[in-house]
Amino acid sequence: MKLFGTAEQFDLQRVPFSRAGAFLNVYQEYTDGALYLNMCRSVQVINERPALVKLTPVIGGKELVYTYSCDEAKLTLTAPEGTAEFTYENSQTLRIRTNGIGLRFEWTPQENESVLLRSDSSIEAAFNFIGKLLFRGLTGQAVLTISEVNAVELLPDSDGTAELAIHEYYSNLATPELYKGFDVCVREMSAEFAAFSKRYPAVAPAYAEMAERAKWVVWHSQLGPRGALTSKVVYMQKIWFDRAFGWHHGFHAMAMRNDAKAAFTTLLAMFDYQNEYGIFPDNLSDRHQETWISSKPPIFGWSACYILDNFDLSGLTTADYRNIYEKLAGYTRYWYTHHDHAKLGVPQYYHIDESGYDESTLFDKGLPLVSPDLLAYATCLCEACAKLADKLSRRDDFGYWTSLAKHTLEYLVNELWDGEQFLAYAPLVGEKHKCGSVAQLQAVMLGHRLPSSVVKTLAKRLTDPDEFFSAYGVTGENLKSPDVRMLSFSRGPVMAPAQALICYGLYDGGEKDAAKLIAARYLNALNKEGLALAVNPYRFEPRDNSPVPEFKGGGSVTFPFSAWPASVYLMLAELLTAG
């Protein structure tokens, strides 16, 4: 299946051609439309140098006009004079084969960067902070030009063909004496993706094509262990947000319906970085770039409960359950111990980013904040710990976690529900308040744990086109709110995580029709707009009809494909197949 291309619905401006484990990628720069090599390492990628090495098909020094397309294992550039094909031999080796044309690689070096012609005729280019590339001609000839713009040109042999291996590394790398055949590399890469795809269930035909793209995006976004990455994590993107974020892994895990072992391994990937207090960084990368300013929403209990209740667990062992329990229990204690300075017996948010609603009206009364979405997450954390303690026959622990889950849920329902929505409570102000953020309705994620009357009320509001229900799904802010902003992250656009939390909660709470209505509308929107973190259902601001500029390229959250909404897509596509 053709995934991306010049003539396809989506191109490589949206997501790079890559593979699992690879930091070296090929993507199309939106400013000039050219293809580039990119390395998704260091903050320089997003801030300075996403377009690292320009790729240009050439013949006799003349630049050629070309189109391109890619499937899961091969990228093909096609000019009237010939083709250039790309695949991976392994996660650190990009392979290239040309027929009838040559290929030029060019880049502008920064201060202290170097390029070296080695004794074996291979060419090593070193980049500040990012790493090194080694261009090694296998057939044909690789020719180096050193100038203000450095270039390596792959020239074909007399039969018109040439092959090149590009190795990516940070310090040094031993190159192989023998390389696999190019077609063998294609078959092996395709087979590896096919094996990964078996983790996911089949979906309805209307969603099958985008589901293939979604699986491929998640697969190739896996990185590590390598560098500072001690486990395999899933990066959000490989071009702009080139980092792994903790709570994304809860969605990635839930989508892997056919493989409980892989799901729990994915769920706990970030727990490799758990400290003595039980918490781990908000996000991290392979270059020791860890962010501890805040955490992210504690989704892991909700995800663990879903896996424990719905997946085939026959492949899990007592040791697996013990590992999951100990990590989740430490994490849950962190939230109840270090996020309850108000001594309420329930956790509070201390940073806006901990909610996932980065500029939400939820926080208009300040911090700390007892928020309904946080209490929903916390209830599920305690419930997951209780389920795991039960499997390990730890009766005292089971009783403790069951009691704490009950207490948290009762606080949420008895103290914060006002008959229409859940309120937030700011302890320093001593005031409960409501706002237009969908976060105050997101506790519907608890599903069957909530009174049915509460679920019904929330379902009605979430599917009301005058409040939250748009042509693309549930918006981040009430459409009647004076604070709604489509040109924002969480005050208007339709965000991937909220759709998953809401739809799964409604379905579990008995409001199946509402869940499927929202899910179908959202999936249809992504079929049109692509696997973006947030999609904008309007080209104007609902509050005053002022125009909303169309997003084009760059780091906009609504523009590139991301692994996070890819897994949400797979989750909701599966939900639509349920009874």
- 164, 96 Cβ separation under 8 angstroms: yes
The domains of the chain are located at 4-191, 198-575
In whole angstroms, what is the distance from residue 401 CA to residue 48 CA? Answer: 48
Please state, in angstroms and as integers, the Cα–Cα distance from residue 367 to each residue in 345, 352, 407, 431, following that order: 17, 8, 22, 12
The Cβ of residue 282 has, within 10 Å, a number of other Cβ atoms equal to 20
Q: Does the bond joining 225 to the residue before it have cis omega, within 30 degrees of 0?
A: yes
What does the pLDDT profile of the chain (579 residues) look like in tens digits?
899 999 999 999 989 999 999 999 999 998 899 999 999 987 656 667 888 999 999 999 899 999 999 999 999 999 999 999 999 999 999 999 999 999 999 999 999 999 999 999 999 999 998 899 999 999 999 999 999 999 999 999 999 999 999 999 999 988 898 999 999 999 999 999 999 999 999 999 999 999 999 999 999 999 999 999 999 999 999 988 889 999 999 999 999 999 999 999 999 999 999 999 999 999 998 887 778 888 899 999 999 999 999 999 999 999 999 999 999 999 999 999 999 999 999 999 999 999 999 889 999 999 999 999 999 999 999 999 999 999 999 999 999 999 999 999 999 999 999 999 999 999 999 999 999 999 999 999 999 999 999 999 999 999 999 999 999 999 999 999 999 988 888 889 999 999 999 999 999 999 999 999 999 999 999 999 999 998 988 888 887 888 877 655 544 444 789 999 999 999 999 999 997
- 434, 483 Cβ separation under 8 angstroms: no
Alpha helix (H) residue ranges in 268-345: 300-310, 318-338
- CATH class, 4-191 region: mainly beta
DSSP category for residue 194: H
Burial, 178: exposed, middle or buried (Cβ in 10 Å; 0-12, 13-18, 19+)?
A: exposed
In whole angstroms, what is the distance from residue 247 CA to residue 498 CA? Answer: 13
Q: What is the CATH number of domain 198-575?
A: 1.50.10.10
In whole angstroms, what is the distance from residue 202 CA to residue 129 CA? Answer: 42
